[in-house]
Structure 1
Amino acid sequence: MSTATLTGERADILETLTTHRWFLRHTVQGITDDQARQRTTVSELTLGGLIKHVAETEKSWADFILDGPAAMGGGTDWAEPTPEQIAQYQAGFTLLPDETLEGVLARYDEIARRTDELVATVDLDLTHPLPEAPWFPKGATWSARRVFMHIVAETAQHAGHADIIRESLDGQKTMG
């Protein structure tokens, strides 16, 4: 099924996700790699790091839809993470010296295409138990539908963060 012919709930999910992705991508329009790495607030967040984080988070949740909790690091003890896990997590929010904004955006496009195809084809009632982690309720399950709603929320939240960072960088406003 082509995503262009979707109707109803699937079309709504895809349209909402596409809108929030646009807001996020718009925040990095016309900036350099150095600007994408620049902190402009007291937060550690940067524009390039946010794009990278949102892309990898979307990929992780799409993997969860297809493969269940094992796709999200099943067996990892997040209550007491190792220094390597902490470093890996922090790197997920950082545009590293060997990475470019263009490369991170291309990866985001690739991940988005895969997610969009899942929106068009996967059984929205497919469910998996959430991975064991301190931030998830014990024994909870999420449907593919719920995962897509979470991806939308994650993208929208970070698009707002990116808007603030961009405005602090050079005054450009994305959302108003």
Structure 2
Amino acid sequence: MNVNEPDTREAAAASLPGERADLLEALGKQRHFLRFTTRDLTDEQAGLRPTASALCLGGLIKHVASVERGWAGFMVEGASAMPDFNAMTEEDFARRSDEFGMLPGETLKGVLADYEEAAARTDELVATLPDLGISHALPKAPWFEEDARWSARRVLMHIIAETAQHAGHADIIRESLDGAKSMG
């Protein structure tokens, strides 16, 4: 997918009924802003950390793809599709922290392709789930309310918010790299 162009799935989303089209359109716009921050960058630039944060552009995209993939699994399978956060070891947390950086051998093209796959899976779920109101208990984690349930609809709103938040982080990182901005 060309990072300079809007997500082509937006047109397909328009053929869905109201709410589903609205959710996918909102998510598509945020995905575009996130991907757009990587335009014209080399693999090396995508791995740079020009701010006080440990974040880089390639790592942000890897993280968003992983999170979206996890939440898409949750919409279908419930908490069993998510990591058991309370049982994670230091090694597990170290592997998860690798999401935030470009590892040796990783390319921006590869990271973007992986994100595209995760996005396509989510979009397919939105189009085919029988009911966006279906809900599952959240996995046990210190940051989730005990005994809370989230519907597929709520999960999608969370994915949109998470993508938008990280698109903002990405914009700051890109501006710190070379002065380029996503907007304005």
TM bin, normalised by shorter chain, reads over 0.9
Give the distance between the partners of 2:132 and 2:120, measured in 1 at CA: 17
2:40 is matched with 30
Stretches of structure 2 that go unaligned for 5 or more consecutive residues are 1-11
2:86 is matched with 77
2:7 is matched with none
1:124 is matched with 132
Q: Per-residue displacement from partner, 1:52-98 (whole Å, max 9, x unpaired)? A: 00011000000111111011023x416xx422022112111111112
Between the two structures, name the one with larger relative contact order (CA 8 Å, sep ≥ 6): 1
Give the distance between the partners of 1:175 and 1:131, measured in 2 at CA: 36
1:164 is matched with 172
Give the distance between the partners of 2:137 and 2:55, measured in 1 at CA: 30
TM-score by length of 2: 0.90
Number of aligned residues: 172
Give the distance between the partners of 1:158 and 1:10, measured in 2 at CA: 22
Give the distance between the partners of 1:109 and 1:86, measured in 2 at CA: 25
CA contact (8 A) 2:13 2:25 kept: no
The Cα shift of 1:142 comes to: 0.1
Query: Is 1:40 equivalent to 2:47 in the alignment?
Result: no
CA contact (8 A) 2:138 2:150 kept: yes
The Cα shift of 1:114 comes to: 0.9
2:99 corresponds, among 92, 101, 113, to 92
- Summarize the alignment of residues 58-73 of structure 1 with structure 2, pairs less than 5 Å apart: 58-73=68-83
The Cα shift of 1:4 comes to: 4.4
**AA partner of residue 153 (structure 2):** R
The Cα shift of 1:128 comes to: 0.3
Give the distance between the partners of 2:71 and 2:118, measured in 1 at CA: 11
Give the distance between the partners of 2:13 and 2:172, measured in 1 at CA: 32
**AA partner of residue 158 (structure 1):** H
CA contact (8 A) 1:3 1:117 kept: no
**AA partner of residue 148 (structure 1):** L
1:155 corresponds, among 157, 160, 163, to 163
Moved over 4 A (4+): none
RMSD of Structure 2 on Structure 1 (CA): 1.2
The Cα shift of 1:25 comes to: 0.4
2:148 is matched with 140
